[in-house]
Amino acid sequence: MAPRTAGSLTAGAPAAGTRAPGAPAADAPAAPADTAPRAAWVRGLSREFAGQRVLDQLDLDIAPGEFVALIGRSGSGKSTLLRALAGLDRGVTGDLGVAGTAAVAFQEPRLLPWRRVWANVGLGLRTGDAKTVALDALEEVGLGARANAWPLTLSGGEAQRAALARALVREPSLLLLDEPFSALDALTTITMHRLVLRLWAHHEPAVLLVTHDVDEALSLSDRVLVLAGGQIAFSERIEVPRPRERDHPELAALRNRLLTELGVVTEG
Amino acid sequence: MPGNTPTGLLPTGLARGTPAAGGSATDAPGPEAARTAPGPGGQHAAAAAPHLSVVPAGRAESAPGARGTAPGAQPGKPAARRRNRTWFRIISPLVVLIGWQLVSMSGLISQQKLPPPSTVFHTAITLITTSNAAYGTLQGAMLVSLERVAIGFAVGGAAGLVLGVIAGLSRLGENSVDPLMQMLRTLPLFGLIPVFIVWFGIGQLPKILLIALGAAIPLYLNTFSGIRNVDAKLAEAGQSLGLHRGETIRHIILPGALPQILVGLRQSLGIAWLALVVAEQINANAGLGYIINQGQAFLNNSVIFVALLVYCVLGLLTDALVRLMERRALAWRQGLLDH
């Protein structure tokens, strides 16, 4: 998927960009000069909350179409990084950019209860045929029949699918998923995993999935990252073809490794 | 339930609690429990709207009853029971009316002091059909009163709404508008009447101003807090979808505040009628309050009762009008309530 415009969400901080050789100037964003195209990049990103440094000079590149899972302990700054990429955090320092558009699916569906489902999906679309586009997207996530329903009548899984449709209808080059399955029951989660993989294969956005579920990260992503100490403390590619068996030896080994990285003592 | 309890009050908390709580509750293993019990949504309502203390009480009252009688009730049954109860509600007023008639007729209380309903009815017919020198016609007085309340409410309500939006949307607005409104709020409304008479005389103006001032306050307070209580996560979602500030206000903040704005609307209407009654009994030469004064002067209590009843009916009618608006504008909530 070719990035359309190099629309950047540069959070300008004078000194922060120093780590990246040839980092883009604050008001002239462009992909870093070296190597391949990127869906998103982050250079020297820091964020403090009340003196507490949550992100500390963090660097990250996401390739176009790459499915990246970001795991970390509670409070490790996973969501902070995601929100920064979504342009929702004005307090970060450092450089970051998204080639094209980013769209978010949050932990809660965050549908507007006073707009019908299709109108939620089409919210903010600038095209003339917003309704048609929205209906198509709902059809794609298997929610065509509920297009005219009020959001409050949807089940949790349905609402989350509507939220996915709302994110995808913008044809984002970067899809940001902020623990979108954590409030769903186990069976619904399995269905949602399949749906996300199908949508990803079809639309080919780069995906950043923030999760606290190691198995979710292992079964979905091309690359799994561990966020600790405000930086990417661990990064590993997963080459196992999908659909993945949970007890694939490579995944099992990686699972133990990840748990260790996360500070969970594994036995046996 | 939604039909007869103060509907406007009930859903405010629900609306606020829903995006997260409602969404996950319906998907939880026990949807029946989530529906009948005053669950997270209900508690949220109590926590988020402490000044609307009527709400959680009414909710808590009805919910356990529904649970106690039929734990696994069929979807059809509660509705039938509700209809039953609605019909039941007519009985007590009827009993009071009949009792009143009997007490008056039996001579326990003189008919001069408490005219029986039949006399009141007869007086009403007479006031409508003939123009009396002392009272004019009932419909004429009604029109005069309605005009006062309509103008006063329109002016005051609009001011309250606009100021509430200004204060709700920005810190600057809050800091400039809210202190003044809080001061006005604590002013005893009817204590202003002598001042208003000195300032504005005894014509229409002081009456309309009194109504406007009374109507402005609840609408202001509810609009302000309605806006401030809109779920910030929804506004953030809007931002992530690329909505501009104006679009966020139009699509997210104002619709989110609407349930509480409508509560304010009903409270404002109530105060507007109240202010009308008081204003009209001071130096009025037309209107329902004038009729009451004349009735008092001529020791004709049945005329007073007619005027009071007309106030009641007009108040009920305007309230029903707002309820109709609510049902239209807040149709999205119905799914939750009927579910």
The pLDDT tens digits of the residues spanning A202-215 come to 999 999 999 999 99
User: Quick one: pLDDT at residue B87?
Assistant: 78
Asked if residue A147 is part of any domain, the answer here is no
Asked if residue A229 is part of any domain, the answer here is yes
A200 contacts chain B (CB < 8 A): no
Give residue ranges of B with CB < 8 Å to any A CB: 15, 18-20, 22-24, 26-29, 233-234, 236-243, 247, 251-252, 255-256, 258, 330-336, 339
CB nearest to A114's CB, from B24, B237, B332:
B332
Are B27 and A109 inside 8 Å of each other by CB? no
Are B240 and A88 inside 8 Å of each other by CB? yes
Indicate whether B38 pLDDT > 80: no
User: Quick one: pLDDT at residue A143?
Assistant: 95
Q: How confident is the model at residue A87 (pLDDT cuts 50, 70, 90)?
A: very high
User: Quick one: pLDDT at residue B338?
Assistant: 53
Minimum mean pLDDT range among A53-62, A140-149, B111-120: B111-120
User: Quick one: pLDDT at residue A35?
Assistant: 65
In chain A the first and final C-alpha atoms are separated, in Å, by 43
Q: What average pLDDT does range B115-140 have in this prediction?
A: 91
Residue of B nearest to A87 (CA): B240
Check the CA dihedral A243-A248-A250-A256 and report its sign: positive
**Average pLDDT for chain A:** 87
* ipTM passes above 0.90: no
**What's the domain count of chain A?**
1
The pLDDT tens digits of the residues spanning B65-110 come to 333 333 444 444 555 556 667 778 889 989 998 999 998 888 888 8
* β partners of residue A64: none
Indicate whether A116 pLDDT > 70: yes
Tell me how far apart the alpha carbons of residues A256 and A251 are, in angstroms, rounded to a whole number.
9
The pLDDT tens digits of the residues spanning B170-193 come to 999 999 999 999 999 999 999 999
Burial class (CB in 10 A: 0-12, 13-18, 19+), A169: buried
Interface test with B, best of A85, A101, A108, A127 (most B CBs within 10 A): A108
Could you tell me the CATH number of the domain that includes residue A230? 3.40.50.300
Domain that residue A43 falls in = 36-109+174-261
User: Quick one: pLDDT at residue B211?
Assistant: 96
Q: What average pLDDT does range A212-231 have in this prediction?
A: 95
Number of Cβ within a 10 Å radius of residue B192: 16
Residue ranges of chain B assigned to CATH 1.10.3720.10: 131-338
User: Quick one: pLDDT at residue B79?
Assistant: 57
Indicate whether B123 pLDDT > 90: yes
Indicate whether A132 pLDDT > 90: yes
Tell me how far apart the alpha carbons of residues B208 and B147 are, in angstroms, rounded to a whole number.
9
| CA distances to A150, A159, B12 from A156, in Å | 13, 5, 22
Q: What are the two backbone dihedrals, phi and then psi, of residue A234, each rounded to the nearest 5 degrees?
A: -155, 140
Indicate whether B15 pLDDT > 70: no
Interface subset of A 143-172, CB within 8 angstroms of B: 149-157, 159, 166, 170
Q: What are the two backbone dihedrals, phi and then psi, of residue A111, each rounded to the nearest 5 degrees?
A: -85, 145
Are B332 and A103 inside 8 Å of each other by CB? no
Q: What average pLDDT does range A96-121 have in this prediction?
A: 95
The pLDDT tens digits of the residues spanning B282-321 come to 878 889 999 999 999 999 999 999 999 999 999 989 999 9
Cα angle vertex A145, ends A128, A173, to 5°? 50
CATH T-level fold of B131-338: MetI-like fold (1.10.3720)
B151-167 b/e with 16+ CB inside 10 Å = b? ebbebbbebbbebbbbb
Is pTM beyond 0.90 here? no
User: Quick one: pLDDT at residue A178?
Assistant: 96
Asked if residue A26 is part of any domain, the answer here is no
**Average pLDDT for chain B:** 79
Are A150 and B335 inside 8 Å of each other by CB? yes
Minimum mean pLDDT range among A27-36, A240-249, B129-138: A27-36
CB nearest to A113's CB, from B18, B26, B29:
B18
Pairing of strands A206-211, A102-105: unpaired
Interface test with A, best of B24, B35, B240, B334 (most A CBs within 10 A): B240
The pLDDT tens digits of the residues spanning B265-283 come to 999 999 999 999 999 888 7
Residue A178 distance to chain B (closest CA, Å): 12
The kind and range of the H/E element at B181 are helix B171-186
User: Quick one: pLDDT at residue B61?
Assistant: 37
Tell me how far apart the alpha carbons of residues B144 and B146 are, in angstroms, rounded to a whole number.
6
Residue B143 distance to chain A (closest CA, Å): 37
Tell me how far apart the alpha carbons of residues A219 and B185 are, in angstroms, rounded to a whole number.
60
Indicate whether B139 pLDDT > 50: yes
Contact B181, B235 (CB under 8 A): no
Interface test with A, best of B12, B14, B16, B24 (most A CBs within 10 A): B24
Q: What are the two backbone dihedrals, phi and then psi, of residue A212, each rounded to the nearest 5 degrees?
A: -110, 5
Residue of A nearest to B243 (CA): A124
Q: What average pLDDT does range B117-127 have in this prediction?
A: 93
Q: What average pLDDT does range A136-152 have in this prediction?
A: 95
User: Quick one: pLDDT at residue B112?
Assistant: 84
